[in-house]
Amino acid sequence: MPLRGKPTTEAEKIVFRHEAELPPMTRSMGTVLINKTGSWRYLRPVYEEKTPPCRDACPAGIDIQGFVDMLARGEPLEAWRLIRESSPLPGVCGRVCPHPCERSCNRGEFDEAISIHALERLAADRALNEGVGEEPRAPKEEERVAIIGSGPAGLSCAHFLGREGYGVTVFEALPRPGGMLRVGIPEYRLPRTVLDKEIADIEALGVSFQTGARIGDIGELADYDAIFVATGAHKSRSLNIPGEDAAGVIPGVEFLKNLNLGGKNQAGERVLVVGGGNTAIDAARSALRLGARTTIVYRRTREEMPAIEEEIEAALAEGVDILYLATPRMALVKDGRVAQVGLIKTELAEPDETGRRRPVEVAGSEFMIEADTVITALGEAPDLSFLPEHAGLSEEPREIDGTPVFGGGDAFTGAGTVVHAIASGRRGARAIISRLAGAGVAHEPPGPVVPFESVNTACFARQPAVRMPEVPVAERVSGFAEVNRGLPLTDGLEEAKRCFSCGVCNLCDNCLIFCPDIAVIRLNDSYEIDYDYCKGCGICAVECPGNVISLVEEER
């Protein structure tokens, strides 16, 4: 710290033995550094990083504040690298994640949440556009791990094992890797170049993919030292109504898989999609793009719809009709194909075990809708028939024929989002490494989550969030090109600066600037409190924008 003069750093009391040693008047001869005012303190400020609510809300535990901060500093590639510490699929998640982080973002209570989702995509897209990826390397560990399923859970597990040098083979029944990412999510939401790039990054870690390789029996993999089962949930739940077996009634997952693997157009002219989740919306918007008049029928209201809010908005904007509070009772078949669907109105009763209000049919409210295609999207279930009966597999490992087998992803957690699957894959990788290395993997417990009330919002000016621009409706419904355009870099970097940095010091200097005792010392990338002089006034703790500084009682 530049200082003029000679501060009494080694402050020593100035002693006068004789009046002649005194100046004629009270002229200073040293500095007040002699006074160790730290002895006045009864509360001690400490830098104690806490968990930002975004990170807390992220199933994959991505260091969101960290990567946003890197963007704010203009380092998108560093942001990308940081995300990959927790998730191998930033480009995918930046597009299809339902981003619970944004709902938890403290800034949302101030003005608008940070566009974390868009920023994640921005970081990934920079890596993609600049050709930055994982450097190829070969496995270094002797142990080999088989992963069944190349969906997000499998990919995630492969990534985290590959990074640690394990030999990993991923078995995929379909012709291309990616699982639901490839066959479930329409291309207008997730361009395949993005998925391919992120799979390539995993491959670069020495992970090999065997596609078109359906594992009929787990015994086929007895040579491996560990097996991770992540086969996902591809079996659509049925409607259980008369006429369900007729032609034109298609499970949503099947419809999307066929479409995404380049099969024949299964949508007719008049499509009815049953369900309110993301599969329903994906199917409806895809059918619309194939030229069908499309209606979604959902038995609750929009409020209860589990699909991502922005997806619902987009579907409506594109011209998908949504019929709320109705449920199919029967499919009327004509010439072997569905022609009409009989529905009944519902109303909402008391909440059920999921917390959502239970729909009950309204007697006598039946009505009919024309439809030559009915796509069912009532949720998906796993098919684990290749496992021995009663394997009882879960995320907890089981020995099957002497090989430890771990489970993960939708097949076992049922959570149904990419980010949950990624988290599950990482947990699996961690468990496998613990097992193979014979040692637990250290896992720091997260600190307390920063509540909105602890943020010093006075440090921030209200400023709306930047949103990703969209391709105009008329243009986008004519094909499967990506709907959302990414954020321009400059907008993204500005958006990143809106982050409150809850619980994490971003070197804003407030503690330094507002310390009346000049007791906060700035180091290269942190601060230090000089407890010799800090009087414990607590201003730093109050003025810290992100609640990083805590006050603890001084021990006396």
Partner 1 sequence: MKKVITGNHAVSYGAMLARAQVIAAYPITPQTTIVEHLADFTADGQLDARFINVESEHSAMAASVGASAAGARAFTASSSHGLALMHEMLHVAAGSRLPIVMANVNRALGTNWNLWADQTDSLSQRDTGWLQFYCESNQEALDTVIQAYRVSEQVLVPSMICLDAFFISHTAEIVDIPDKALVDSYLPECNLVYRLDPANPCTLYGVTSAEFYYEFRYKLHKAMEDAIRVAREADDEFREMFGRSYGLVEQYRMEDAELVLVTSGTAASTSRLVIDELRERGERVGMLRIRMFRPFPAEEIRNALRGAQRVAVMDRNMSPGQGGIMAQELRSALCNTPDRPPVYGFVVGLGGRDITTDVVHRVIEEALATDIPEDIIWMGVKV
Partner 2 sequence: MSIEIPREEYLFSGHTGCPGCGAVLAMRHVLKGLGDKTVVAIPACCWSIIAGAFPYATLNVPLMHCAFETGAATAAGIKAALEIRGDTETTVLAWAGDGGTFDIGLQALSGAAERNDDIIFICYDNEAYMNTGIQRSSATPWKTWTSTTPANTPKETPKKDIVATMMAHHIPYIATGSVAYPADLIAKVRKAKEIRGTKFIHILIPCPPGWRHPSELTIKIARLAVLSRVFPLYEIEDGNHRVTVEPDDTRVSEYLKLQGRFRHLDETDIEVIQANVDREWSRIECLSA
List of residues contacting partner 1 (CB under 8 A): 4-5, 16, 19, 22-29
Instruction: Report if residue 74 touches partner 2, rule: CB under 8 A.
Output: no
Stretch that binds partner 2, among 34-42, 46-54, 204-212, 362-370 (CB under 8 A): 34-42
Among 17, 18, 19, 27, binds partner 2 (CB under 8 A): 27
| Nearest-angstrom CA–CA distance, 381 and 508 | 49
Spatial CA neighbour of 489 closest among 95, 36, 118: 118
Q: Which does 317 bind (CB under 5 to 8 A by kind): partner 2, partner 1, none?
A: none
Instruction: Report if residue 77 touches partner 2, rule: CB under 8 A.
Output: no
Spatial CA neighbour of 134 closest among 89, 70, 171: 89
How many residues in the shown chain lie near partner 2 by CB under 8 A?
49
**Min dist. Cβ of residue 540 to partner 2 (A):** 8
| Nearest-angstrom CA–CA distance, 345 and 342 | 10
**Min dist. Cβ of residue 114 to partner 2 (A):** 16
Q: Which does 24 bind (CB under 5 to 8 A by kind): partner 1, partner 2, none?
A: partner 1
Phi, psi of 304 (to 5 degrees): -90, -5
Among 369, 370, 508, 554, binds partner 2 (CB under 8 A): 508
Instruction: Report if residue 530 touches partner 2, rule: CB under 8 A.
Output: yes
Give 198 or 517: the residue with its C-beta nearer to partner 2: 517
User: Encoding tokens for residue 16?
Assistant: 């006068």
**Min dist. Cβ of residue 515 to partner 1 (A):** 22
Task: Report the length, in residues, of the chain.
Answer: 556
Among 68, 539, 547, 550, binds partner 2 (CB under 8 A): 539
**Min dist. Cβ of residue 47 to partner 2 (A):** 16
Q: What is the 3-state secondary structure (H, E, C) of 464-517?
A: CCCCCCECCHHHHCCCCCCCECCCCHHHHHHHHHCCCCCCCCCCCCHHHHCCCC
User: Encoding tokens for residue 282?
Assistant: 């994906």
Q: Where are the beta strands (DSSP E) in 352-452?
A: 357-370, 373-376, 380-382, 398-400, 403-407
| Nearest-angstrom CA–CA distance, 552 and 48 | 10
Instruction: Report if residue 33 touches partner 2, rule: CB under 8 A.
Output: yes
Q: Which does 528 bind (CB under 5 to 8 A by kind): partner 2, partner 1, none?
A: none
**Min dist. Cβ of residue 500 to partner 2 (A):** 11
Binding mask 457-496 for partner 2 (x = CB under 8 A): -xxx------------------------------------
**Min dist. Cβ of residue 138 to partner 2 (A):** 46
Q: Which residues contact 309 (CB under 8 A, 6 or more apart)?
A: none
End-to-end CA distance of the chain: 31
Among 10, 28, 135, 556, binds partner 2 (CB under 8 A): 28
Instruction: Report if residue 4 touches partner 2, rule: CB under 8 A.
Output: yes
| Nearest-angstrom CA–CA distance, 495 and 125 | 16
Q: Which residues contact 478 (CB under 8 A, 6 or more apart)?
A: 289
What is the DSSP annotation of 426-471?
A: HHHHHHHHHHHHTSPPP-PPP-PBPPGGGS-GGG----PPP---B-
**Min dist. Cβ of residue 9 to partner 1 (A):** 16
* Residue 487 near residue 193 (C-beta atoms within 8 A): no
Give 35 or 208: the residue with its C-beta nearer to partner 1: 35
Instruction: Report if residue 40 touches partner 2, rule: CB under 8 A.
Output: yes
Instruction: Report if residue 14 touches partner 2, rule: CB under 8 A.
Output: yes
Dihedral sign, Cα of residue 95, residue 97, residue 98, residue 102: negative
Give 94 or 545: the residue with its C-beta nearer to partner 2: 545
Q: What is the DSSP pairing of strand 226-229 with strand 233-236?
A: unpaired
* SS3 (DSSP) at 125: helix
**Min dist. Cβ of residue 36 to partner 2 (A):** 7
Q: Which does 1 bind (CB under 5 to 8 A by kind): partner 2, partner 1, none?
A: partner 2
Q: Which residues are near partner 2 by CB under 8 A?
A: 1-5, 7-8, 11, 14, 26-37, 40-41, 458-460, 508-510, 513-514, 516-519, 522, 530, 532-533, 535-539, 541-543, 545, 551
